[in-house]
Amino acid sequence: MRGLADALVAAAIADSTGVALALMAPPAGGALWLLGLIGRVRRAHPGLGVTGLLDCGDRAGEAQGALAAGVPALLFTGGTAAADRLAAIGAAHGAVLLTACPSLLDLAAESHGSTRPVLLEALCRDWLTQANGWTESHAEG
């Protein structure tokens, strides 16, 4: 996800097709960036089920901070003991902890850097109309 413009394109397509949306922030995005992005998407598409996933890599401290900030889902690829502790903390916050990256659409890579709305919309429509159980089962309205 490159930013708000990509998120809004994906949200518009998800909203028009009746599919929930999960937005994944890169590690550099951070928890507050992701939460702000989710908030903007929800204001633009109030009926859309949308959630966010933050890639924390193997950084347990970052993951714990993201959970405290209210990030609904984290990707943590660190050790099993840390993942178990974070999963327990996440459960107490109503959050999900993943230890493997789900399949995702990387708009920047798939569009080869293009920001043409028609191309981005087509990529999103193709992606979102495929079965994607994690997104649908974890997005909140």
Span 1-17, pLDDT tens digits: 568 888 898 898 889 88
Question: What is the pLDDT of the chain when averaged over all its residues?
Answer: 83
Q: Per-residue pLDDT for the chain (141 aa), expressed as one digit of tens each? A: 568 888 898 898 889 888 888 888 876 789 999 999 999 999 999 999 999 999 999 999 999 999 999 999 999 999 999 999 999 999 999 999 999 887 776 666 666 666 667 767 777 777 777 755 445 445 544
Write down the pLDDT at residue 7: 87
109: exposed, middle or buried (Cβ count in 10 Å: 0-12, 13-18, 19+): exposed
Write down the pLDDT at residue 29: 82
Span 28-39, pLDDT tens digits: 789 999 999 999
Map tokens 């890639």 to a residue.
Answer: 55
Please, are residues 53 and 42 in contact by the beta-carbon 8 Å criterion? Answer: no
Closest CA to 29 of 84, 71, 90, 80: 71
Write down the pLDDT at residue 141: 45
Please, are residues 97 and 83 in contact by the beta-carbon 8 Å criterion? Answer: yes
What is the pTM for the complete model shown?
Answer: 0.78
